[in-house]
Amino acid sequence: MFNVLAPTLGSFIPPVAAGACVVAAGASCAYYATYAVRSQWLGAADWRGREDTSSVALTFDDGPGEDTARVLDALAAHGARATFFMVGRQAERNARTARRVAAEGHEVGNHSYTHPIYLYRSARETRRQLALAQGAIEGATEVRPRFARPPCGVRSPAYFRAARALELRTVQWSVAGFDWKPIGAREIARHVLKDARAGSIILLHDGDSEGKADRRETVAALPLIFEGLKERGLKVAPLSRLLGIGEAAAELR
Ligand SMILES: [Zn+2]
């Protein structure tokens, strides 16, 4: 259904379709936005980084949670820096882990306070979600997020207004590990490596917005992903560097 709808209707997600998808997937994130994540219709959103590099960015959503420590261990073992789009409430609950994320040189982003689909929330609630998450993440990590990624990648006009007010840059993704599905580590790695190329922003998860799924398959996929990226001559870079923000991107070449 979405394969047909998304390209035909431009990239905005029709509420009816989105609603159907949310229902179809129960309360979990349906990821119907896979085809719409590149939309610039409602506001600017980065979905890939510089292509004149030999690097990709790894991003982890929905944490911090119980499995975040193991993700951090795997990143440390490969000397890689990633970006964690944290859910504010999770950052409060797991403040020590959140602090470790920042202390180990990873970047943090705003992934809302309780992981709602902004399309179904009022402008006031959307503003509240973003502001609360900023405070919670900064409180736990001592770093104020500069990036935001809306839950399930679903944006609304109110979301962009709120993000702009907080000077948050919206970052989607170009490659997904599909680790929200019940698939194993090899399959997750295969999804990532199939599409990874210079400039890719890769979506994975270190937590679950429902708080019920563990991320052991994602953790197990990481060594396979690092190995595959290396074979393709691709390095892992922090998101800000891949987007050409701040430090000189010359190091990427
Ligand atoms: Zn999410």
Q: How remote is the CA of residue 117 from the centroid of ligand 1, in Å?
A: 9
Domain presence at residue 8: no
- Per residue, the 3-state secondary structure of 179-207, as one string, reads CCCCCCHHHHHHHHHHHCCCCEEEEEECC
Domains contained in the chain, number: 1
Residues in the chain where the model's pLDDT stays below 70: 1-35, 209-212, 246-253
Residues 6+ apart with CB under 8 A from 23: none
Residues 6+ apart with CB under 8 A from 36: 6, 11, 12, 13, 153
**pLDDT at residue 212, as a whole number:** 64
Q: How remote is the CA of residue 209 from the centroid of ligand 1, in Å?
A: 6
Domain presence at residue 124: yes
Q: How remote is the CA of residue 253 from the centroid of ligand 1, in Å?
A: 31
CATH number at residue 144: 3.20.20.370
Domain presence at residue 46: yes
Catalytic option among 111, 115, 191, 205 = 205
Residue bearing tokens 């809302």: 112
**pLDDT at residue 29, as a whole number:** 56
Phi-psi label, residue 65: left if phi above 0, alpha if psi -120 to 50, beta otherwise: beta
Task: With CA atoms as reference, report the closest residue to 151 among 13, 2, 6.
Answer: 13
Please, are residues 180 and 31 in contact by the beta-carbon 8 Å criterion? yes
Q: What is the pLDDT of residues 81-106, one digit of tens each?
A: 999 999 999 999 999 999 999 999 99
Task: With CA atoms as reference, report the closest residue to 155 among 33, 52, 20, 25.
Answer: 33
Domain presence at residue 232: yes
**pLDDT at residue 253, as a whole number:** 41
Please, are residues 29 and 209 in contact by the beta-carbon 8 Å criterion? yes
* pTM of structure: 0.86
- For residue 154, what are the domain limits? 41-245
**pLDDT at residue 138, as a whole number:** 98
Q: How remote is the CA of residue 115 from the centroid of ligand 1, in Å?
A: 6
Domain presence at residue 81: yes
Domain presence at residue 14: no
Catalytic option among 61, 179, 206, 208 = 61
Q: Is the peptide bond before 151 cis (omega within 30 degrees of 0)?
A: no
Answer yes or no: 205 catalytic.
yes
**pLDDT at residue 211, as a whole number:** 61
Answer yes or no: 61 catalytic.
yes
Domain presence at residue 155: yes
Domain presence at residue 192: yes
Task: Tell me the two tokens of residue 17.
Answer: 């379709």
**pLDDT at residue 61, as a whole number:** 97
